[in-house]
A and B are shown apart, each in its own frame.
Chain A
Amino acid sequence: MSQVLYIPRDSVALSLGADELALAVSAEARRRRIDLQLVRNSSRGLFWLEPLLEVHTPEGRVGYGPVAPADVAGLFDAGFLRGGEHPLCQGIVDDLPYLKRQQRLTFARAGLTDPLSLSDYLAHQGFVGLRRALSMSAAEIVAAVTDSGLRGRGGAAFPAGIKWQTVRTTEARRKYVVCNADEGDSGTFADRMLMEGDPFALIEGMTIAALAVGAGEGYIYVRSEYPQAYRTLCQAVDLATAAGYLGADILGGGRGFELHVRKAAGSYVCGEETAMLESLEGKRGMVRAKPPLPAVHGLFGCPSIINNVITLASVPVILARGADFYRGFGLGRSRGTLPLQLGGNVRHGGLIELAFGTTLRELIDEFGGGTESGRPLRAVQVGGPLGSYLPASLLDVPIDYEALAQIGGVLGHGGVVVFDDSVDMAQQARFAMEFCALESCGKCTPCRIGATRGVELVDSIIAGQQRERQTGLLRDLCATMLDGSLCAMGGMTPYPVLSALDHFPEDFARPSARRAG
């Protein structure tokens, strides 16, 4: 019998040489006349171990990582195919504390399966939720999503069930389900991992959404910076259509849902839902004024569900195991689990799916293991480029939408980026404004003009020109952007800027000659 071996094809593993590793392993096996079955799984989300090679043993899957092609001969010599000892051996992967302490619902299959194997998906509870949904009325499906407490995971945290209900009850000949996969926030990669690692879960979630509102067509809008996710989704949609999970007649139930995968073109603001709709319609990604809400007047003017990848991919487990099961995780108004993404200067970065309520400190210390550089942690940016910078003293806040809002932060899409004490927070504030100037769609003045003026103000503060006066002006400008912008691009760029000013004023007050760079 051939030996089963796993090497991931997630982008992180690929960027660290997983394809070369797979070639080296196959070549070495041929040389030793060993019959191998090499499965290209997705990542478990333990990125410091990538490429993580796993072998199937009677005790469970044993992991070795990070493995370079040069290690391969040594691994064979050590008998790794039977889980043999080797300096790179991590033991049974499922028993690693990093995984054991997580509550993986949305990412239950991550790294376990071949992402494009329908039989793997079915063997791991795939399409259980869809089958249940097919036996329910539209109103019952919406009620289950509402009762689960699921809120939009893209950043805005709007209750998914309420949005679905609006689309369901709006009369129209055509309706759409649109998946926002324009995951542009730095420090976030949960959407990418899900699309590359478990694309059928997203397809299943979107199909359930279509049944719930009576939509016949759907679009996934994927960023062009994610070529591996785009390729994987296109293949997965073809496979699911051929097997009858998508198409004119889903599983013989008489209802149809056609799904299209669309590639974005490198505009951050197209992650804003109305700019994304414009882009899907073939236009510049300019933000629309709301109302009308997209739930009433969305894609091509039709009622549309727009949800993030993680929101939609969390729907199958809610249908399969019930609203109460999902609701049982979390606290307050933040129910269920959140796939957190730990990155930046941290030793053990990766995907950590937990019920709401863990503190940032627990996440960074206990999962992350501190900074990778070994220097003291100075700042943490939570929620992407529009999220606040928090100092070490504020990290005991529980990870929950409302708790973070109380300390002036945002949870956003769940990205947590760690900086050590070499960071210059005035430069980070400058970057926030620079990024806004670069990515602003230009529709509203506070964002279009404010961001450019913001860069100039931070520059003059750094240069020590009329510091007090310019700082006052910068705060005034931030207030205008906060209150006067059309969307979160201009409206939230002040978060990183003001939090840097508030928590790290010393970085804006250094003698300008001593500043490096």
Chain B
Amino acid sequence: MTDTLPEADAQSVEAAILAHGTQPGALLPLLHAVQDRLGHIPPPAVTRIAAALNLSRAEVHGVVSYYHHFRERPCGRHLLEICRAEACQARGARELEAHVRRRLGCDFHQTSGEGVSLEPVYCLGLCATGPAIAIDGQAFSRVSAAVFDALRARHL
């Protein structure tokens, strides 16, 4: 962890503050903009955002840590999300989860040796064609173990 951001990242944070900082309830749009740009929300960005919105660092940190979507540390080269909710469970998601953990050799909230961060997600709205997963935000459904292996070869 460093106390200052690289120049390009600092400029991205300033641009996000300029674009979103003055709207009512600006914090979530601002955090989205920063994470979309930097891949995560580094601690020095929290300090800068807090100052810009006249909030305490604790308040901004509280929001970042509350929401599952926001990350304070970078994820791996790829983000793999597996739906763990009921409709996908009814279609074999528990078995898929076990298969994926074996294949990647890591558990949820971890990053595999090949740089794939595995995260749970609770419903992608693809409840009649599960199991559903998302790779770097792109959703796939009817993902059997064999389909997963093919997707892994192609995308991960």
- Please give, as numbers and ranges, the residues of chain B lying within 8 Å of A263 by CB-CB distance: 28-29, 32
- Please give, as numbers and ranges, the residues of chain A lying within 8 Å of B94 by CB-CB distance: 517
The answer to whether A266 touches B123 (Cβ under 8 A) is no
Q: With A345-B91, A417-B87, A423-B90 in contact, is A266–B127 under 8 Å at CB?
A: no
- List residues 429-449 of chain A with CB under 8 A from any CB of chain B: 431, 435, 439
The answer to whether A284 touches B62 (Cβ under 8 A) is yes
Q: Which of A53-61, A180-188, A240-248, A506-514 contacts B (4 or more CB under 8 A)?
A: A180-188
The answer to whether B86 touches A385 (Cβ under 8 A) is yes
The answer to whether A268 touches B26 (Cβ under 8 A) is no
The answer to whether B126 touches A12 (Cβ under 8 A) is yes
Q: Which of A77-85, A223-231, A482-490 contacts B (4 or more CB under 8 A)?
A: A223-231
Residue A349 at the chain B interface, CB threshold 8 Å: yes
The answer to whether B66 touches A417 (Cβ under 8 A) is no
The answer to whether A282 touches B63 (Cβ under 8 A) is yes
Q: Between A and B, how many residue pairs show CB distances below 8 Å?
A: 149
Contact with B along A193-234 (1 / 0, CB 8 A): 000000000000000000000000000000011110000000
Residue of B87, B91, B126, B130 ringed by the most chain A CB atoms within 10 A: B87
Q: With A188-B127, A415-B127 in contact, is A284–B66 under 8 Å at CB?
A: yes
Q: Which of A131-139, A319-327, A336-344 contacts B (4 or more CB under 8 A)?
A: A336-344
Partner of B128, one of A265, A342, A381, A431: A342
The answer to whether B67 touches A344 (Cβ under 8 A) is no
Q: With A12-B141, A345-B91 in contact, is A282–B27 under 8 Å at CB?
A: yes
* Closest chain A CB from B48 CB (angstroms): 16
- Please give, as numbers and ranges, the residues of chain B lying within 8 Å of A50 by CB-CB distance: 129
* Closest chain B CB from A49 CB (angstroms): 11
Partner of A187, one of B28, B86, B142: B86
The answer to whether A186 touches B87 (Cβ under 8 A) is yes
The answer to whether B123 touches A185 (Cβ under 8 A) is yes
User: What's the Cα separation between A283 and B63 when bound, in Å?
Assistant: 6
Residue B155 at the chain A interface, CB threshold 8 Å: no
User: What's the Cα separation between A450 and B66 when bound, in Å?
Assistant: 19
Partner of B125, one of A225, A283, A419: A225
* Closest chain B CB from A347 CB (angstroms): 10
User: What's the Cα separation between A184 and B132 when bound, in Å?
Assistant: 15
Residue A255 at the chain B interface, CB threshold 8 Å: no
User: What's the Cα separation between A263 and B34 when bound, in Å?
Assistant: 13
Residue A47 at the chain B interface, CB threshold 8 Å: yes
The answer to whether A184 touches B123 (Cβ under 8 A) is yes
The answer to whether B28 touches A418 (Cβ under 8 A) is no
Residue A307 at the chain B interface, CB threshold 8 Å: no
Partner of B121, one of A12, A225, A267: A225
- Please give, as numbers and ranges, the residues of chain B lying within 8 Å of A12 by CB-CB distance: 126, 128-129, 141
The answer to whether B87 touches A344 (Cβ under 8 A) is yes
- List residues 84-129 of chain B with CB under 8 A from any CB of chain A: 85-91, 94, 121-129
The answer to whether A283 touches B68 (Cβ under 8 A) is no
* Closest chain B CB from A425 CB (angstroms): 12
- Please give, as numbers and ranges, the residues of chain B lying within 8 Å of A227 by CB-CB distance: 137
Residue B19 at the chain A interface, CB threshold 8 Å: no
**How many A residues, CB 8 Å from partner?**
57
- Please give, as numbers and ranges, the residues of chain A lying within 8 Å of B32 by CB-CB distance: 224, 263, 265
The answer to whether B132 touches A267 (Cβ under 8 A) is no
- Please give, as numbers and ranges, the residues of chain A lying within 8 Å of B27 by CB-CB distance: 282-283
- Please give, as numbers and ranges, the residues of chain B lying within 8 Å of A14 by CB-CB distance: 139
- List residues 62-85 of chain B with CB under 8 A from any CB of chain A: 62-63, 66-70, 85
User: What's the Cα separation between A262 and B123 when bound, in Å?
Assistant: 19
- Closest residue of chain B to A381, judged by CB? B86
Q: With A47-B128, A265-B67 in contact, is A435–B87 under 8 Å at CB?
A: no
- Closest residue of chain B to A441, judged by CB? B66
Residue B31 at the chain A interface, CB threshold 8 Å: yes
The answer to whether B31 touches A265 (Cβ under 8 A) is yes
* Closest chain A CB from B21 CB (angstroms): 11
- Please give, as numbers and ranges, the residues of chain A lying within 8 Å of B148 by CB-CB distance: none
The answer to whether B125 touches A435 (Cβ under 8 A) is no
Residue B24 at the chain A interface, CB threshold 8 Å: yes
- Closest residue of chain B to A349, judged by CB? B128
- Please give, as numbers and ranges, the residues of chain A lying within 8 Å of B132 by CB-CB distance: 15
- List residues 133-156 of chain B with CB under 8 A from any CB of chain A: 137, 139-142
User: What's the Cα separation between A285 and B69 when bound, in Å?
Assistant: 13
Residue B25 at the chain A interface, CB threshold 8 Å: yes
* Closest chain B CB from A351 CB (angstroms): 9
The answer to whether A349 touches B129 (Cβ under 8 A) is yes
Residue of A192, A225, A428 ringed by the most chain B CB atoms within 10 A: A225
The answer to whether A285 touches B90 (Cβ under 8 A) is no
The answer to whether A188 touches B125 (Cβ under 8 A) is yes
- Please give, as numbers and ranges, the residues of chain A lying within 8 Å of B31 by CB-CB distance: 265
* Closest chain A CB from B36 CB (angstroms): 10
Partner of B28, one of A226, A262, A349: A262
* Closest chain B CB from A464 CB (angstroms): 21
* Closest chain B CB from A497 CB (angstroms): 13
- Please give, as numbers and ranges, the residues of chain B lying within 8 Å of A418 by CB-CB distance: 90
* Closest chain A CB from B120 CB (angstroms): 9
The answer to whether B125 touches A265 (Cβ under 8 A) is no
Residue A360 at the chain B interface, CB threshold 8 Å: no
Residue A76 at the chain B interface, CB threshold 8 Å: no
Partner of A189, one of B62, B91, B127: B127
- Please give, as numbers and ranges, the residues of chain A lying within 8 Å of B142 by CB-CB distance: 16
Q: Which A residues contact B (CB, under 8 angstroms)? A: 11-12, 14-16, 47-48, 50, 183-189, 192, 224-227, 262-268, 279-285, 300, 341-346, 349-350, 372, 381, 385, 415, 417-420, 423, 428, 431, 435, 439, 517
Closest 7 pairs between A and B when the two form their complex, measured CB to CB: A349-B128, A343-B127, A186-B85, A282-B27, A265-B67, A344-B90, A266-B69
> 7 more A-B contacts (CB under 8 A) besides A280-B28, A345-B91?
A16-B141, A187-B86, A225-B123, A225-B125, A265-B67, A344-B86, A372-B91
Q: List 23 A-B contacts (CB under 8 A).
A: A11-B125, A15-B129, A47-B129, A50-B129, A189-B127, A192-B125, A227-B137, A262-B29, A264-B28, A264-B67, A265-B28, A265-B32, A280-B25, A282-B25, A284-B63, A284-B66, A300-B25, A343-B128, A349-B129, A415-B87, A431-B86, A435-B122, A439-B122
